[in-house]
Amino acid sequence: MKITSRIISDHGLNKDEYNKIVSLIERDPNLLELGIFSAMWNEHCSYKSSKKYLKNLPTLNKKVIQGPGENAGVIDIGDNDAIVFKIESHNHPSFIEPYQGAATGVGGILRDVFTMGARPIACLNSIHFGDQYHKKTKNLLNGVVSGIGGYGNCIGIPTVGGEVKFNSSYNENILVNAMAVGLVKKDKIFYSKAEGIDKSVIYVGSKTGRDGIHGASMASAEFDENAEDKKPTVQVGDPFTEKLLLEACLELMKDNSIISIQDMGAAGLTSSSVEMASKGNLGIEINLNKIPCREEKMTPYEIMLSESQERMLIILNPEKEENAKKIFKKWSLDFAIIGKTTNTKNIVLNFNDEEVANLPLSSLSTQAPLYDRKWKTNPLPKKTEFSDKVKSFKILESFKKLLRSPNNSNKSWVYHQYDQTVMGDTVQKSGGDAAVVRVHGSNKGVAVTVDSSTDYCLSHPITGGKQVVSEAWRNLISVGASPIAITNCLNFGNPEKENIMGQFVECVDGISQACKYLDFPVVSGNVSFYNETNSKAISPTPTIGGVGLLKNLDYMMTKEFKHENSIILVVGKTLGHLNQSEFFREVVNDISGPPPEVNLFNEKNNGFAIQNIISKKLTSAVHDISSGGILLTLFEMCTEGKIGVNIEIPNNNISNNQYLFGEDQSRYIIEISETNKNEVYSILKENSVYFEIIGKTIKENMVIKNEFNISIDELKKINSEWFINYC
């Protein structure tokens, strides 16, 4: 078959890239080979636009065992325990087919974690939808939530946290970012690097079908009005098979049977075989007739590019083959020897006794194109002057409006569809600052959180990047954990456009600055570009998954007020920054101005002071102040129990709206007793941390002096209306 320019562009490659292929292999590729190049060189797999900038992210601290480059990152949590975690996007498929797209997003990220030998202990997700009035939003929301639940609930891993957001920039490009966290013994971690020649290459798991062909290429292009035609590129998930695969792999991993292992994710058999062999600096030979196929007469092209789910590639110690076979038979899974490692440094594919592809591995990996794309800077917008109109908004009405808005509504409609308590170790569920999962059989806990930034990042990407990392760090501090490391999922538009590339470059810069300052390195992640439809891009959306450790769960903190008559403190300075706030967006209907400034010194200093106060058991509730400001934060601290608040706004030179709705960073609200107050004040003063006493806890009502007095139950009712009425 002649490779025409049409075929080349259908494979998502441009003319220069095709010429580069020809010069690398010194001939024209055949169609199968072109398909393989397309799968390996697309943005999703090659990071060709982002690599230059990702290199600048800090990836190491004392706790990091494995940084980016493996199936997932790994950190040390002591006692020979390690945590494996990663976040990944499944945006494009979820827009085309929300249930399967979201489900396979969860399945894929879980495989990344258990491929490394870890038993997954928690799932999290960050999902973004379009405006509530957009015709697709309701269906997409229902489908994605069901899909996430459908997969996680069946496989039996608790979904413990996440976020759900709405913004019109996602009308035609929703975001589904799924994170998985696993627990492994430090000396039992498995890697993907192949070792030794003439070793059998084993295929295990589900059969290969015609689903998801070119999924990774689809996810590396913009959508147009025909996006739904791409449905056949979406994979179909089977969580039951994944559960069997999980148990079978963990059973096989008990001894030293496995030399290396890699899941078949994006670009399926192609990327897994290429990655394993090239990491080991080996070659690989595969007989495609040996691949277990679900459908008849599948061609080599279809086999190599299928993204059928629940499959793994393993290189086994030869003497362990019989035992491994037995394990997979017990779990009713396919087990096939499909090839061997070689010393040729090429990938060779045979089909019906003919060589159908033969490519140097380096041409697919290290020699893949890298781009230094043009970008332009995003200056900091000017602050909007507050007119008297802003001051005139009534506080209670504004507050109720916020509570009714989709973004600030109670999300229990969502998380009640996720099994949060299976595995019996979820000690803090969705709804708090971070979720906490106990390390099974111990009194240690792993704190996990997912946070993203949309508006802040669109307004000023460097600040947005810094803010989202700080927010994740602050959330971990709030539950009493020591933050350790993050995984990131960077969702952007088309990087070939200068303004989009500028958003990316500067956002990564912000992330990098915060990670360095807070000693909070990036150990895994992914980049999702081309979140655009008909040239309209999403707002830049970095999503951060943060992980921290609680050495002793007796020191775990929660956000709910516990007692009446406690003192309520705001820790950190309130300046009343309203630009880009929820109040401005939902109430004033103004999206101008810069995001709040992130001062990393204050972030760290205030956070460490809170950590110190928690570690001395001087507080009974901690909640970080994030979107919605002090007022929303106070409300969230009242929602579980029968405790309310009586607040008197301290004397200051800002308006009450600014004080209550301002989104200044690095702040917390804490509950302390009369007995502990002097010790808390002296810790804060010694560390030069600004704080204010704003009132006391009382029974059942929320009282803001001179403004309003309303029952918590009424507010809760208002807060839960939106989802119930909408879905």
Binding site for another protein (CB under 8 A): 146, 149-150, 153-156, 238-241, 243-244, 331-332, 412, 415-427, 438, 553
Count of all residues that appear for the chain in the document: 727
Nearest to another protein of 150, 607 (CB atom) = 150
In angstroms, rounded to a whole number, what is the distance separating the alpha carbons of residues 313 and 189?
Answer: 16
Helix, strand or coil, per DSSP, at residue 517 = helix
In 39-80, at which residue ranges do the beta strands (DSSP E only) sit?
Answer: 64-66, 73-76
Nearest to another protein of 164, 578 (CB atom) = 164
Nearest to another protein of 326, 416 (CB atom) = 416
Residue 624: CB minimum distance to another protein, A: 22
Contact predicate 412/420, CB 8 Å: no
**Edge-to-edge strand order for the sheet containing 701-704?**
621-624, 668-672, 567-571, 691-699, 643-647, 701-704, 708-711
- Residue 670: its H or E element: strand 668-672
3-state SS of 162-228 is EEEEECHHHCCCCEEEEEEEEEEEHHHCCCCCCCCCCCEEEEEECCECCCCCCHHHHCCCCECCCHH
Residue 232: CB minimum distance to another protein, A: 23
Residue 376 burial class via C-beta count within 10 angstroms: exposed 0-12, middle 13-18, buried 19 and up? middle
Residue 553: CB minimum distance to another protein, A: 7
Residue 104: CB minimum distance to another protein, A: 15
Contact predicate 119/183, CB 8 Å: yes
- Nearest CA to 123 out of 111, 138, 106 is that of 106
Phi and psi dihedrals of 461, rounded to 5? -60, -35
Contact predicate 475/451, CB 8 Å: yes
In angstroms, rounded to a whole number, what is the distance separating the alpha carbons of residues 215 and 395?
Answer: 49
What DSSP designation does 414 have? H
- What is the sign of the dihedral through the CA atoms of 9, 11, 17 and 18? negative
For the record, the structure tokens of 176 come out as 């589904």
Residue 164: CB minimum distance to another protein, A: 15
Residue 419: CB minimum distance to another protein, A: 4
Nearest to another protein of 394, 416 (CB atom) = 416
Nearest to another protein of 260, 410 (CB atom) = 410
Residues annotated catalytic, as ranges: 44, 90
Residue 330: CB minimum distance to another protein, A: 8
Angle between helices 137-155 and 239-252 (to 10 degrees): 40
User: Looking only at Cα atoms, what is the longest distance across the chain?
Assistant: 86
Residue 315: CB minimum distance to another protein, A: 26
Nearest to another protein of 22, 727 (CB atom) = 727
For the record, the structure tokens of 523 come out as 């150990």
Angle between helices 600-615 and 677-686 (to 10 degrees): 150
Helix, strand or coil, per DSSP, at residue 468 = helix
Looking at this protein, which amino acid is placed at residue 535? S
Phi and psi dihedrals of 560, rounded to 5? -75, 135
Nearest to another protein of 332, 589 (CB atom) = 332
Nearest to another protein of 648, 713 (CB atom) = 713
Nearest to another protein of 156, 650 (CB atom) = 156
Residue 146: CB minimum distance to another protein, A: 8
